[in-house]
């Protein structure tokens, strides 16, 4: 199976040895997106809604570069530093979809890279 790496400067560079996304078998596998503003290299704020919005914007930018969109997302995984943020994250997350939501998992984790409060990954169809 052929694979293709997807990279864009409209989303933050990987913070480790991985690609922003990989295309394989008609799908785009987007690595977990921290809420890093690609213009500044920093988190936009400490507010979980703003952080979630930034992670989703990063996902959207990578999907656009790959030739697809949020409408084609079939599965997401959300990692939260604090599950008490679940409702606020859901509010922002839902605004990125048109009422037809992908399958999803959400977990509270002990820690995320760079001390982030949220990280979101996705799989989308081309």
Could you give the residue numbers annotated as active site? 106
DSSP of 87-121, one letter per residue? Answer: HHHHHHHHTTSSS-PPEEEEEE-S--GGG-SEEEE
Element containing residue 50 per DSSP (H, E): helix 48-66
Give which of 125, 120, 66, 115 is closest to 96, Cα–Cα. 120
Number of CB atoms found within 10 A of residue 98's CB = 9
User: With contact defined as beta carbons under 8 Å apart, do 33 and 11 qualify?
Assistant: yes
């Amino acid at each position: 199976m052929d694979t293709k790496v997807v990279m864009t400067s409209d989303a933050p560079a990987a913070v480790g040895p991985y690609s922003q996304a990989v295309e394989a078998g008609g799908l785009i596998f987007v690595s977990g997106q921290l809420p890093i503003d690609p213009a500044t290299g920093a988190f936009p704020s400490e507010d979980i809604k703003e952080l979630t919005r930034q992670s989703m914007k990063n996902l959207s930018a990578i999907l656009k570069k790959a030739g697809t969109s949020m409408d084609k997302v079939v599965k997401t995984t959300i990692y939260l530093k604090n599950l008490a943020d679940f409702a606020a994250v859901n509010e922002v997350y839902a605004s990125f979809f048109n009422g037809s939501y992908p399958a999803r998992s959400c977990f509270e984790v002990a820690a995320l890279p760079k001390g982030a409060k949220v990280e979101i990954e996705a799989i989308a169809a081309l």
